[in-house]
Amino acid sequence: MNPIKNDNYQVFFDDSLNILNNILAQKKYSKIFILVDEQTSEHCLPVLQEKLPQLTEFDIIEVPNGEENKTIDFCIGIWRTLLDFEADRNALLINLGGGVVTDMGSFAAATYKRGIDFLQIPTTLLSQVDASVGGKTGIDMDNVKNIIGTFSQPQAVIICTDFLKTLPERELTSGLAEVLKHGIIADVDFFDELTLLNDAKEITVKHIHKSVSIKNKVVLADPFEKNIRKTLNYGHTIGHAIESWSLVNEKNSLLHGEAIAIGMICEAYLAKETNELSEEELEKITNTFIKFFGRYKIRPGIENALLDIMKQDKKNSNGKISFSLPTKIGNCSIDSFIEESLILDSLKYYQSI
Amino acid sequence: MNPIKNDNYQVFFDDSLNILNNILAQKKYSKIFILVDEQTSEHCLPVLQEKLPQLTEFDIIEVPNGEENKTIDFCIGIWRTLLDFEADRNALLINLGGGVVTDMGSFAAATYKRGIDFLQIPTTLLSQVDASVGGKTGIDMDNVKNIIGTFSQPQAVIICTDFLKTLPERELTSGLAEVLKHGIIADVDFFDELTLLNDAKEITVKHIHKSVSIKNKVVLADPFEKNIRKTLNYGHTIGHAIESWSLVNEKNSLLHGEAIAIGMICEAYLAKETNELSEEELEKITNTFIKFFGRYKIRPGIENALLDIMKQDKKNSNGKISFSLPTKIGNCSIDSFIEESLILDSLKYYQSI
């Protein structure tokens, strides 16, 4: 599978992880750190060590898993560990994990001594198709997602699908949401192909490659999210709000993909009401997400709390809540500012299906 | 006085602050925040408001003054205030203050929602000649200076020398250290001119302009500090260590310029011992700094503690302590890795003068 080229780095598809050896041989790093969470420490680090027995000189930094730990406190822990181990500007941080590890690790690396090199080895489907390209780093604060961060490029991204075998099915399905999103905003044929899958376990490296290619093309055209890159936010205004609410209020909280699957249904409704999306396409989108994700119960009464969270969204402008909405499957518009009553209607639509 | 052009922004010399009005008129910011510390809140904000009575729509964020407060905790306070006041990506942060305010404020702005616009209005001589160009943002952690930060450019820098009238003489003298440094590393005539001053109060806008020009030229040639920009670190390896030590251990701790004045004497000694700097030029440098700064007592017995701090320096590589050393007054080399015994000798040299 060919690597996908971004401006200054490439996304490699390499189940052998040999490419990691090559990169480390080319650059003489003074120290190597591997950031893991509890999960990837147990399930992915042994896989990496088995594939690359020659890689022995590194220190491990471990953070707890879960979005609720993508905080400045754990980021300070990473900075302090780098400092305690005397990491200099020629040190390398390898982020081995899902979105929490890749987002927080890359933020820590991008700001430690004004930036050290980092490599992304995303181990979940979600992080392989989403966090792997785009150079967004970030941590959450006060339950607002990715409110603190930078745009910073990794040295390389390495996608090894063997890591997906270590994932619970629920995590795999969560990742499918972003894959489906890439189809809806940019490629109707790809979306149609995905709707034929029985479940997320049928995802192949070809689907992942296609999904990354779509995202990469969008990101290259607009690295700082001034226009077309905003299409990647489809589903995320409402989805992030539901995710944030769930993180605080539910013991078994929603995964990112589960939340934005709901967001994509609600926002497809907004697109039908305000945009050119047809009734039939709204139904097709709704049915596809229900097929893979089932129905989540948005508790009646929380709608205004969700609106309050949406008002904190990074994408807003002048206090208005902003959306990226499909005009048809395979195409997406940006900068739709929708009034609050209609947003509430979209939640009702979801609750009614 | 002509503005000085960096890549994407300019340094304006404008005692009327009218340029601020022009910038605000050109860009429609959703909200304006002014970051001040206790000192600039009392002494500089009234000056700004008097000069620009039409500027009324802004919120003030105040942090305590002093390098010991350039921490992640106060940075979190800035982020949280921006969030609480619903600052979106079109908000502007104006940093009105010395290096603590401009360094920490620009780091907060560069990372809030992955970067909002910020303007620098440095109010001390030190920040006017040093923090004003170069795009370095940063905070301290565990007494290591600027260990967390980014390279991020402001929208503009506005230098208004009226703010210097609000400064205590000790602060003004501190700033003179960086002005002298620019002479030593790049312009012998400028250095000679400065040695004729009786004290820092005789500094004029022409000296500031010259000093900023020198720094700007260096920074433009090497924005990410790969080579020539390192010359700006002359005096800073030992100076930062003394500054950090003093911050923790002395009630009336050294100001940045006072510390790097000591560092420049010590490092000139290193340059004489290892480099081409002549005995006469070492004396000239030593006498100049003693003239303006007097003698500081480096307490006997702290030398190894200072070495330990130097080992944490961002500029080090592979565990070796790195220096930028003048080869003659007006010229500077980089990447001298000096053994510890000689560093200790340089401290003894300072203690003996």
Q: Count the neighbouring beta carbons within 10 Å of the beta carbon of residue B24.
A: 19
Q: Look at residue B315 and tell me whether its pLDDT is greater than 80.
A: no
pLDDT in tens, A293-319: 999 999 999 999 999 999 887 777 777
pLDDT in tens, B107-134: 999 999 999 999 999 999 999 998 778 8
Count how many pairs of residues, chain A against chain B, have C-beta atoms within 8 Å.
Answer: 100
Minimum CA–CA partner of A225 in chain B? B114
Q: For the domain A181-202+213-352, what is the CATH superfamily, name and number?
A: Dehydroquinate synthase-like - alpha domain (1.20.1090.10)
Could you name the CATH architecture of A4-166? 3-Layer(aba) Sandwich (3.40)
Enter the CATH code of domain B169-352.
1.20.1090.10
Q: Look at residue B84 and tell me whether its pLDDT is greater than 90.
A: yes
**Exposure string for A19-32, b = 16+ CB within 10 A, e = fewer:** bbeebbeeeebbbb
All CATH 1.20.1090.10 domain ranges of chain B, comma separated, are 169-352
pLDDT in tens, B152-203: 999 999 999 999 998 999 999 999 999 999 999 999 999 999 999 999 999 9
pLDDT at residue B132, as a whole number: 78
pLDDT in tens, A83-137: 999 999 999 999 999 999 999 999 999 999 999 999 999 999 999 998 778 899 9
Distance CA A70, CA B2 (A): 46
Distance CA B116, CA B86 (A): 13
Q: Name every chain B residue with its beta carbon within 8 A of the beta carbon of A138.
A: 114
Distance CA B267, CA B238 (A): 7
Binned at pLDDT 50, 70 and 90, residue A59 comes out as: very high
Cα dihedral value B71, B75, B78, B83, nearest 10: -150
Minimum CA–CA partner of B308 in chain A? A86
Q: Name every chain B residue with its beta carbon within 8 A of the beta carbon of A136.
A: 114
What Rg do the C-alpha atoms of chain A give, in angstroms?
A: 20
Q: Name every chain B residue with its beta carbon within 8 A of the beta carbon of A113.
A: 147-149, 314
Query: Helix or strand or coil: residue B65?
Result: coil
Minimum CA–CA partner of B147 in chain A? A113
Place of tokens 């400064």: B167
Cα separation of the two ends of chain A: 40
pLDDT at residue B124, as a whole number: 96
All CATH 3.40.50.1970 domain ranges of chain A, comma separated, are 4-166
Minimum CA–CA partner of B79 in chain A? A148
Q: Name every chain A residue with its beta carbon within 8 A of the beta carbon of B107.
A: 111
Q: Look at residue B10 and tell me whether its pLDDT is greater than 80.
A: yes
Q: Count the neighbouring beta carbons within 10 Å of the beta carbon of residue B117.
A: 20
**Tokens read off for A296:** 């989540």
Give the CA angle between residues A251, A245, A352 to the nearest 5°: 100
Q: B224: Cβ–Cβ under 8 A, 6 or more apart, which residues?
A: B151
Q: Do B88 and A30 touch (CB under 8 A)?
A: no
List helix spans (H) across chain A.
18-26, 38-43, 45-51, 72-84, 99-111, 125-126, 169-186, 188-195, 205-221, 236-249, 256-274, 279-293, 303-310, 340-352
Contact at 8 Å (CB) between A45 and A36? yes
| Partner residue facing A110 (CB), from B150, B311, B319 | B150
Q: Name every chain A residue with its beta carbon within 8 A of the beta carbon of B83.
A: 141-142, 144, 147, 312
Comparing A159 with B247, which gets the higher pLDDT? A159
Amino acid at A90: N
pLDDT at residue A70, as a whole number: 95
Place of tokens 């602050």: B17
Query: Please, which residues bridge with residue B95 across strands?
Result: B35, B120
pLDDT in tens, B226-253: 899 999 999 999 999 999 999 899 999 9
Q: Do B76 and A72 touch (CB under 8 A)?
A: yes
Binned at pLDDT 50, 70 and 90, residue A343 comes out as: very high
Place of tokens 């209609």: A342
Q: Look at residue B314 and tell me whether its pLDDT is greater than 80.
A: no
Q: Do A114 and B149 touch (CB under 8 A)?
A: yes
Minimum CA–CA partner of A224 in chain B? B114
Rounded mean pLDDT, A240-245: 94
pLDDT at residue A283, as a whole number: 98
Minimum CA–CA partner of B71 in chain A? A76
| Partner residue facing B112 (CB), from A80, A148, A319 | A148
Distance CA B243, CA B314 (A): 15
Q: A312: Cβ–Cβ under 8 A, 6 or more apart, which residues?
A: A144, A147, B83, B86
Q: How far is CA B83 from CA A27, B111, B277, in A?
A: 40, 12, 52
Q: B88: Cβ–Cβ under 8 A, 6 or more apart, which residues?
A: A314, A316, A317, A318, A319, B30, B31, B113
All CATH 1.20.1090.10 domain ranges of chain A, comma separated, are 181-202+213-352
| Partner residue facing B150 (CB), from A115, A142, A316 | A115
Q: What is the largest distance, in Å, between two alpha-carbon atoms of chain A?
A: 60
Average pLDDT, chain B: 95
Distance CA A54, CA A36 (A): 19
pLDDT in tens, B19-72: 999 999 999 899 999 999 999 999 999 999 999 999 999 999 999 998 889 999
Q: How far is CA A155 from CA A26, A159, A215, B23, B75, in A?
A: 12, 13, 18, 37, 28
Q: Do B148 and A111 touch (CB under 8 A)?
A: yes
Q: Name every chain A residue with its beta carbon within 8 A of the beta carbon of B141.
A: 76, 79-80, 83
Contact at 8 Å (CB) between A339 and B111? no
Phi and psi angles of residue A91, each rounded to the nearest 5 degrees, phi first: -80, 160
- Which residues of A fall below an 8 Å CB-CB distance to B? 30, 72, 76, 79-80, 83, 86, 88-90, 107, 110-115, 136-138, 141-142, 144, 146-151, 311-312, 314-319
Average pLDDT, chain A: 95
pLDDT at residue B207, as a whole number: 97
| Partner residue facing A30 (CB), from B137, B141, B317 | B317
Minimum CA–CA partner of B110 in chain A? A150
- CA nearest to B237, candidates B135, B172, B312, B166: B312
For residue B11, what is the enclosing H or E element? strand B10-13
Query: Please, which residues bridge with residue B322 across strands?
Result: B337
Give the CA angle between residues A254, A256, A258 to the nearest 5°: 60
Q: Name every chain A residue with its beta carbon within 8 A of the beta carbon of B113.
A: 147, 149, 314
Q: B58: Cβ–Cβ under 8 A, 6 or more apart, which residues?
A: B31, B32, B33, B34, B94
Q: Look at residue A51 and tell me whether its pLDDT is greater than 80.
A: yes
CA distance A72 to chain B (A): 9
Rounded mean pLDDT, A200-228: 94
CA distance B158 to chain A (A): 24
Q: A241: Cβ–Cβ under 8 A, 6 or more apart, which residues?
A: A263, A306, A307, A309, A310, A313
Q: How far is CA A71 from CA A35, A84, A147, A170, B76, in A?
A: 15, 20, 10, 24, 11
**Tokens read off for A138:** 């970030």
pLDDT at residue A166, as a whole number: 86
| Partner residue facing A113 (CB), from B79, B110, B314 | B314
| Partner residue facing B149 (CB), from A111, A136, A314 | A111
Minimum CA–CA partner of A322 in chain B? B88
